[in-house]
Every structure is written in structure tokens, then in C-alpha cells.
Amino acid sequence: MSEPVVLGIESTCDETAAAIVRGRELLSNVVASSMEEHARYGGVIPEIASRAHAEAFVPCVSKALADAGMELSDVDAIAVSAGPGLAGCLAVGVSGAKALAWAANKPIYGINHVIGHIAVTQLQFGPFPPDTLALIVSGGHTSLLHVEDVARHVDVVGTTLDDAAGECFDKVARLLGFPYPGGPHIDRHAQNGDPHAIKVPQGLTQGQAGARHPYDFSFSGVKTAVARWVEGRQAAGLDVPVDDVCASLADSVATVLARKAMRGCEQYGSKTLIVGGGFSANSQLRAKLLEYGERHGVEVRIPQIKLCTDNGAMVAMLGVNLVEAGVSPSAPDFAIDSAMPMTKISM
């Protein structure tokens, strides 16, 4: 069989995206973001995002096909994010993808968006070695996953118990007066700060809680500790050293993620760690993971920034994996699942 050509469609949050992948080759990758429309509200407003998806859907898909020099009839299958994500946003992408699949008589796969973040690294690094571990860090998810077979079997090793890393950054950013999204601002300021200036706790790493949850993540206490410290300085009429606050926060979060990921690799005898999700664009996290990987003899695969944030390429790539593995397409009337479990790869 020749390499499958898959159109991938993504609409879980505030990016409408479409891409075409043939085998392991990215032929086109189009992303329209409604981020600026949410900035004045300090977060994503689902109703605004859903409307933006409805407006951007046809232009995104049309451009992805045009950039690849293809018609809809040239693709072998359509893949679309069916969850997890914002229900209204998912509904726009899924109903659009179903309409295309029905009109062109193509099989459709409703895929797990988070597993897409793992699959996409194949475009840059090639196939997965056996016993690969994946660390997914995004606005809403921090998960450590064991990838036995990206098309058929993924196990959850650790997960977020409260705030994900991205949420923690956004909440501290708001406190420091940075516009939404806060992550890039914290990243920039952290590069000029002292990562040891403030003692920031490392969630779920110490004592009984740490022993009970060796691979789980909790960043809500980290956010609270930083907030209390900043409020204390402000109440005392002292300057808040913004660069140092950002550097200390970024270092604490990156250290916890790197340490737990390496412990997971050790547990599973894994020599490869795949990293994905929007938060993996953070430069402190990238540096820390590479440093820890070198120390523990683990190859850390962090894709280029455009493949970290939500995109259609990750959906299309997982679609290719499903087609190649002979997994049956989703039923034409499959439902969206805004809380899709990590162990479910496709609907």
C-alpha cells in the first residue's frame, strides 16, 4: 500500500487548523488563531472561539488542500480532534469534518487531540522506539504517558491533580499584569532573572504526597506560593523583581516536570522521552528536559515550536498511524467527548 494521505482538522480551543500529511511528510499546515479576540478577556471565551472556528473552517481546509496541490478527492482519510477540548469548539470542527467526509465519501477518524501531540513528533524524529514515554504539557493538561503503540495502546503513568503547568503560568502572569496568554511573557522575563531568587515549592515531590504520587503533577500550590510572595512584597511597599519571580517559577515547574519524566523513563526502562503540547514551547522547560535527559541517558525529542502548539499536522499524523495500523474508522455519527480519556486514541 502506498503511504496514506490524511487531512487533519483541529478545533479544540482557539486555533482552527488543517494540514495534510502523506506518510511521514507534511505537505501543508494552516493555522488560524482567535487568540487576539480572547486577549481582552484574559482567557479563552468558548462562544467567541466557536464562532471563530465556524468562520475559519472552510478557508483553513481550502488553503491546506491548495498548499498541498490537492483536491479533497486525493486524500485517503480525514482525521479530526474529537476531544478533549471545549465542547462548542469541538462541535464545529467535527461537524465540518463529517460533512467533508460524507460529501467526498472518505473514512473519518475522530482522534484524541492529546495523543496527536505525541504522534506529531514522527514528522521530525521518525518512528517511536519501543517503550517510549511522552510528556504532554499544555494549557489544560500535564500528563506522562507510556506509548506502547500510538495507534492502539497508550497508558497513563501520571496526570494533573489540579492546575496544569500552563494554567499555573497564566494565573501568575495575570497577577504580574501580563496580557493573556501569559506564558510567553513569563518565558521572556525568566531569561533575565535569577531562578534561585525565590524559594518556590515543587509540587508533589516531597514527603508522603510525593511518595503516593511519584508521577502525578500539582501546580496549584506553586501558583499560590508565588502569589502570596508577590502580594507580601506589594503590601510592604517593596518592588516586585518581576524577572526573578518569573525565573524562579519557570525553574521550579521545569524541574518538577523533568524530574518526574526521568523517573518515569527509569521505571519503564525507556530511553526516549517525547515532549508535546503548547507549554513545551517554554524555553526553560526545553533546556531543563534536555539537561536531565543527557544526565540520565534519555533521548529527549522536543519538536519545533510550530508543531508544539495546536495544529492540524498532529491530527493528520495520528490519522496516518491509525490508517497504517488498520484501525477501523469512526462511525459516521461518532460523538465529541470534551473529557476524552487519555487511553482512548480514537472514537
pLDDT of residue 141: 78
Per-residue pLDDT of the chain (347 residues), as tens digits, is 589 999 999 998 878 899 999 999 999 999 887 666 656 666 676 777 788 778 889 999 999 999 999 999 999 999 999 999 889 999 999 999 999 999 999 999 999 999 999 999 999 999 999 889 999 997 677 899 999 999 999 999 999 888 888 888 888 998 899 987 788 899 999 999 999 999 888 877 777 877 888 899 888 888 899 999 999 999 999 999 999 999 999 999 999 999 999 999 999 999 999 999 888 889 999 999 999 999 999 999 999 988 988 899 999 999 999 999 999 999 999 999 999 998 999 99
Instruction: Give the C-alpha separation, 303 to 336, whole Å.
Output: 27
3-class SS of residue 196: coil
Scan for cell 540520565, then name that residue. 296
The reported pLDDT for the residue numbered 183 is 85
**Which residues line the annotated binding site for substrate?**
136-140, 170, 183, 187, 282
Instruction: In whole angstroms, give the CA distance from residue 116 to residue 345.
Output: 9
What whole-number distance in Å separates Cα of residue 240 and Cα of residue 235? 11
Amino acid 252: pLDDT: 93
Q: Are 277 and 264 in contact (CB under 8 A)?
A: no
Quote the pLDDT of residue 35: 64
| β pairing state of 132-137 and 142-149 | antiparallel
What pLDDT does 152 receive? Answer: 95
Looking at residue 207, what is its pLDDT? 76
What is the predicted pLDDT for the residue at 42? 64
Judge whether 273 and 265 are in contact, CB under 8 Å.
yes
pLDDT at 37: 67
| Torsion, CA 260, CA 265, CA 266, CA 270, rounded to 10 | 180
Q: What pLDDT is attached to residue 335? A: 96
Query: Binding-site residues for Fe cation, please?
Result: 113, 117, 310
Q: What pLDDT sits at residue 309?
A: 85
pLDDT for the residue numbered 167: 83
Task: Single out the residue of 143, 149, 147, 97 nearest to residue 312, CA to CA.
Answer: 97
**Residue 64: which of 17, 133, 115 has the closest Cα?**
17
Query: Which conformational region is residue 277 in: left (phi greater than 0), alpha (psi within -120 to 50 degrees), or beta?
Result: left
Domain 129-305 fold is Nucleotidyltransferase; domain 5 (3.30.420)
Query: Binding site: which residues?
Result: 113, 117, 136-140, 170, 183, 187, 282, 310
Q: In what order do the strands lie in the sheet with 153-158?
A: 153-158, 142-149, 132-137, 272-276, 299-301
In CATH, the architecture of 5-120+308-325 is 2-Layer Sandwich (3.30)
> What is the DSSP annotation of 142-179?
EEEEEEEETTTEEEEEE-BSS--HHHHHHHHHHHTTPP
Cβ neighbours of 294 (radius 10 Å) = 11
Q: What is the pLDDT of residue 196?
A: 94
Chain-centroid distance, C-alpha 230? 29
Residue ranges, CATH 3.30.420.40, the chain: 5-120+308-325, 129-305
Q: Indicate the SS3 state at residue 293.
A: helix
